Structure 1
């Protein structure tokens, strides 16, 4: 796995999956040159999606792209995980991913048993999705090394800590490392990450595509300028709850787009959207009226 994977925003409208917006979005991102899609993680509102919503979303995605697909499978119900893995296999997914078990705070033994059981479910490569600010648990390179030495068949990690030293530690283990923090995509590539799973790719796919290509071509100054813009746009939504900031950025910079699934998450207010619009203008971008 290498390149730009979109941490896909999955929109809702009037409380239901907005399949029309999702189809348009996936098609547009495919034409923008992304390498693949990462579904049902944080930006997808994955923990709050029902199995039927996951099934419907995968069908829409599969109909509207020929790009690689990675599916995040975590559920609070083990049978939900099993069914999501089966859906992933049905739709030609190249890998699956999961956060560690959350809420109770796993120790190493729980971590080991969980990922062992997950790898036994499928022949697909299994990635750990490490996002400690949401899970309360950090899968460090030391823990990853212990899992590997204990024979757990982990293929790689999506690391969303934004900690470049930690990403470097994962790289040293010889697994596939994908960066999950929009503000550190370029630094992560420079220390050996194979690519990114990026929420901001929903918003600025052309910029991130260009940054990745400039990096591969050795044009670091140009790549750094693009990374700076990505980080500045990300900063505009830093203090907003949930993921609707990304959804509103799509709406402001690209096309009409749905919102988040209530009441688990809330959409931004009109005043917050206006503040976001003003911030984009200050950055020299041109939001839609």
Structure 2
């Protein structure tokens, strides 16, 4: 799965001022990623506000990204949930021919045990016709998929090929890197600790800030993969303040404001999310001007 090494980005879903999906802006955003060194695109992840998209809107987003990408980069599709049967039925019925892998989040809200998480992903692996990237994000799911569970899944199912690890715990990430079978990819899901994870042996990142500043962030990850730590950390510290800012008042409100400042889309988000306030908007605008 070398195509999933490097920098992937979790695409936003841009909206018009009337809250409808803005397909023209989404096409622009895809081209911006392709033109600036991103390695692959993730469709309908958390950053896409997928929880607020209806079935028809999700299909429109998928169709738009596939057409805009035109086969240039690998695509990963978010297919996850806390109803195992519903997730497996979607995997059996959906046309996944355009995608390299799925990204599947650990079940949220239910708070399953480690055995429950294992059995959920066993069912996902058996239903999926393409490779599976596990997604551990305890801050959203209210449960932590422990390294022992991840390593057990990686050893038991050949098509479980990677994890997006977003616990924000560098020690946990290192345990995964240490214990995972050869070829299993440990991908950062936390922009701020991406570089230390890569230098420790991680495979890259699925990023939010990377889609705002793709040239700089993907260069940082590439330098990290090449173990050029000093050069990579220069870029890390250049972008560090922006990483804090885009998550300060919720994701994707922060990154959408950066896109507005870049002229790529409106900063519209759907409730229960709201736009960043005036103070943060000013700081984000200043940061974009500095990077330019």
Query: TM-score w.r.t. structure 2 length?
Result: 0.88
Pair 1:152–1:114, CA change in 2 (3 A): farther
User: Does structure 2 retain, via aligned residues, the 8 Å contact 1:51–1:80?
Assistant: no
TM-aligned CA deviation for residue 251 of structure 1: 1.7
How large is the RMSD of aligned CA atoms in angstroms? Answer: 2.3
User: Does structure 2 retain, via aligned residues, the 8 Å contact 1:157–1:177?
Assistant: yes
Pair 1:81–1:121, CA change in 2 (3 A): closer
TM-aligned CA deviation for residue 280 of structure 1: 5.1
TM-aligned CA deviation for residue 277 of structure 1: 2.4
Aligned residues: 282
Equivalent residue of 2:77, what SS?
strand
Q: Identify unmatched segments of 5+ residues in structure 2.
A: none
Cα distance between partner residues in 1 of 2:108 and 2:150: 17
Q: Are 2:196 and 1:193 equivalent residues in the alignment?
A: no
Pair 1:240–1:108, CA change in 2 (3 A): same
TM-aligned CA deviation for residue 79 of structure 1: 3.6
Alignment match of 2:105 (pick from 76, 93, 99): 99
Which shifted more, 239-248 or 194-203? 239-248
Q: Identify unmatched segments of 5+ residues in structure 1.
A: none
Pair 1:81–1:278, CA change in 2 (3 A): farther
Q: 1:10 is matched with which residue?
A: 13
User: Does structure 2 retain, via aligned residues, the 8 Å contact 1:243–1:260?
Assistant: no
Q: Deviations over 1:34-61 (max 9, x none)?
A: 1101122221112322222221111111
For residues 264-279 of structure 1, the aligned pairs below 5 Å read 264-278=272-286
Equivalent residue of 1:237, what SS?
helix
Q: Are 2:57 and 1:53 equivalent residues in the alignment?
A: yes
Q: 2:251 is matched with which residue?
A: 242
Cα distance between partner residues in 2 of 1:85 and 1:178: 26
Pair 1:85–1:189, CA change in 2 (3 A): farther
Q: Are 2:90 and 1:83 equivalent residues in the alignment?
A: yes
Pair 1:103–1:67, CA change in 2 (3 A): same
User: Does structure 2 retain, via aligned residues, the 8 Å contact 1:73–1:85?
Assistant: no
Cα distance between partner residues in 2 of 1:145 and 1:119: 14
